[in-house]
Amino acid sequence: MPALELFELGGRGGRRYSLFSWRARLALAHKGLAFESRPVKITDKAAIAFSGQKRVPILRRGETVVSDSWRIAEFLEQAYPDRPTLFAGPGGQALARFVNHWTDRVLVPAVGPNVAAAIPGCVEPDDAAHIRAGFEKGFGRTLEEMWAGRGAGLERLNATLEPLRSLVRERPFLGGEAPLYADYIVASPFQWARIVCAEPVLEPDDPVAAWFERVLDLHGGFARAEPARAGAA
Amino acid sequence: MPALELFELGGRGGRRYSLFSWRARLALAHKGLAFESRPVKITDKAAIAFSGQKRVPILRRGETVVSDSWRIAEFLEQAYPDRPTLFAGPGGQALARFVNHWTDRVLVPAVGPNVAAAIPGCVEPDDAAHIRAGFEKGFGRTLEEMWAGRGAGLERLNATLEPLRSLVRERPFLGGEAPLYADYIVASPFQWARIVCAEPVLEPDDPVAAWFERVLDLHGGFARAEPARAGAA
């Protein structure tokens, strides 16, 4: 079997900060699969031209190339059926897609403005300019305005978390007693926030924070091994 | 096997308008199970005293009494394993609970104010007073104020639907090619709205409306057989 390679955004000092990358990383860890990380810059499209498209993460195994975090999870489930399941059945796979849409359309936009100003300091200058332009176009505000509005931004995030909070008050993981890929989808913006921004987005007594700590502990502390951003944002 | 009885809210003219009742009804239809409906008024707690608690829906099968729509679905899945599955595996059961929390904490509060003013006209006077008081306390506005603010309320609902809309653009049901209990959870506030209020809450060209029509068609048009509210609200 050829080695697994994960092409993913790389920042300064080897940081792996992409939230979509963390979905793939945690899916790989869940399956107990070793992989080689291939960091690429956002602005280096030549490095991923082999994939026939322009976005990371991309998983490569010999001749097989899979891009998009969701399709990587589906590929891993189908290619490694004897490893721990990411979906726990077809219903779990179908509804994880709802969790994916909720995360991308509701949760990520609620986390983003609270950490965006901290991202340029984590990446090389050309990627920093690209990220600034992307956020400022997407949210219609400068990064500095987002940071200044962080109080309201955290309140909005707090309200957004209500359905997740209700769930993790009842049980340890979205998957129930044990995690599923849905947990990694939802954890990904919090891991992104943890890596890029020294100022937390969750109150320590929030049940969502306790759930996220449980995710950080999984697979031998796989996600915790990526250091949190230190110092002031 | 003793008959199945569903104790549920009953309105004027025999209308079954409760959204939680519709979750149980559609779960029963999905399993192909006949049941007898036992309508009760909100204000008639004596009728359900046998259940040891004060809320409907309640499913009774001989000596077995199950209250709460979520627990009714879990009971049906476990008690009728050879019938069509409501969850399609343990992952589907776990993540349906997230869908349940999202629906109760996000979707129902976004639908409610757009239809609340129409509910008193569907029920007996003592229940009408109870419903008015409940909504006005919960939303901090009178029913008339909610109705007057319906333009903003529908805009809020429209934004709330974004993750659901993304999903049903991709596939016919939350469950994928075929419905699961998660579809019935999310459909329940739209069925409630359809029954109590003549003014629609969805634009006809919304993919969510197309999905809801598909749910209405299921099981021989089971949910469509309950008439929509006619005339002006």
ipTM of the complex: 0.96
Question: Which of residues A230 and A60 earns the better pLDDT score?
Answer: A60
Average pLDDT over residues A68-91: 98
Positive/negative CA dihedral, A21, A25, A31, A35: positive
Q: What is the pLDDT of residue B233?
A: 42
Q: What is the pLDDT of residue A233?
A: 41
**Confidence band for A30, pLDDT divided at 50, 70 and 90:** very high
CATH 1.20.1050.10 domain range(s) in chain A: 90-221
B231 vs chain A: nearest CA distance in angstroms? 35
Q: Does A187 touch chain B (CB under 8 A)?
A: no
Average pLDDT over residues A81-91: 98
Q: Which of B89, B104, B167 sits opposite A90 (nearest CB)?
A: B89
pLDDT 10s digits, A103-134: 999 999 999 999 999 999 999 999 999 999 99
pLDDT 10s digits, B80-89: 999 999 999 9
Mean residue pLDDT across chain B: 96
Q: Does A231 touch chain B (CB under 8 A)?
A: no
CATH 3.40.30.10 domain range(s) in chain A: 4-79
DSSP chain B: -PPEEEEEE--GGG----HHHHHHHHHHHHTT---EEEEE-TT-GGGGGGGTSS-S-EEEETTEEEESHHHHHHHHHHH-TTSPPSSSSHHHHHHHHHHHHHIIIIIHHHHGGGTGGGSGGGS-HHHHHHHHHHHHHHHSS-HHHHHHTHHHHHHHHHHHTHHHHHHHHHSSBTTBSS--HHHHHHHHHHHHHHHH-SS-SS-TT-HHHHHHHHHHHHHHHTTTTSPPPPS--
pLDDT at position A174 over 90: yes
Q: Which of B98, B168, B185 to mutate to test the interface with A (most CBs of A within 10 A)?
A: B98
Q: Which of A87, A91, A101 sits opposite B166 (nearest CB)?
A: A101
Q: Which of A93, A162, A174 sits opposite B105 (nearest CB)?
A: A162
**Residue A92 has which token pair?**
């779990």
Percent of chain A with pLDDT over 70: 99
Spell out the SS3 assignment of chain A: CCCEEEEEECCHHHCCCCHHHHHHHHHHHHCCCCCEEEEECCCCHHHHHHHCCCCCCEEEECCEEEECHHHHHHHHHHHCCCCCCCCCCHHHHHHHHHHHHHHHHHHHHHHHHHCHHHCHHHCCHHHHHHHHHHHHHHHCCCHHHHHHCHHHHHHHHHHHCHHHHHHHHHCCECCECCCCHHHHHHHHHHHHHHHHCCCCCCCCCCHHHHHHHHHHHHHHHCCCCCCCCCCCC
Q: Does A99 touch chain B (CB under 8 A)?
A: yes
Average pLDDT over residues A201-229: 97
Q: What is the pLDDT of residue A2?
A: 78
Chain A residue nearest residue B166, CA to CA: A101
Cβ distance A175 to B89 less than 8 Å, yes or no, reads no
Domain A4-79 coded CATH 3.30.420.40? no
Q: What is the pLDDT of residue B2?
A: 78
Average pLDDT over residues A33-49: 95
Q: What is the pLDDT of residue A166?
A: 98
Q: Which of A74, A95, A108 to mutate to test the interface with B (most CBs of B within 10 A)?
A: A95
What does pTM read for this prediction?
A: 0.97
Cβ distance A180 to B96 less than 8 Å, yes or no, reads no
Which regions of chain B are under pLDDT 70?
A: 232-233
Percent of chain B with pLDDT over 90: 97
Q: Which of A68, A98, A160 to mutate to test the interface with B (most CBs of B within 10 A)?
A: A98
Query: Residue B189's closest CA among B26, B76, B4?
Result: B26
Chain B residue nearest residue A106, CA to CA: B163
Q: What is the pLDDT of residue A150?
A: 97
What architecture is domain B90-221? Answer: Up-down Bundle (1.20)
- Which residues in chain B have Cβ-Cβ distances shorter than 8 Å to A164? 98, 101
Cβ distance B98 to A176 less than 8 Å, yes or no, reads no
Average pLDDT over residues A37-53: 95
Query: Residue B92's closest CA among A89, A41, A124?
Result: A89
Q: Does B123 touch chain A (CB under 8 A)?
A: no
Q: Which of B94, B170, B180 sits opposite A176 (nearest CB)?
A: B94
A70 vs chain B: nearest CA distance in angstroms? 13
A81 vs chain B: nearest CA distance in angstroms? 15
Within the 22-81 window of chain A, which residues sit less than 8 Å (CB to CB) from chain B?
none
**Confidence band for A31, pLDDT divided at 50, 70 and 90:** very high
pLDDT at position A163 over 80: yes
**Residue A51 has which token pair?**
């994939």
Q: Which of A91, A106, A163 sits opposite B101 (nearest CB)?
A: A163
Q: Does A157 touch chain B (CB under 8 A)?
A: no
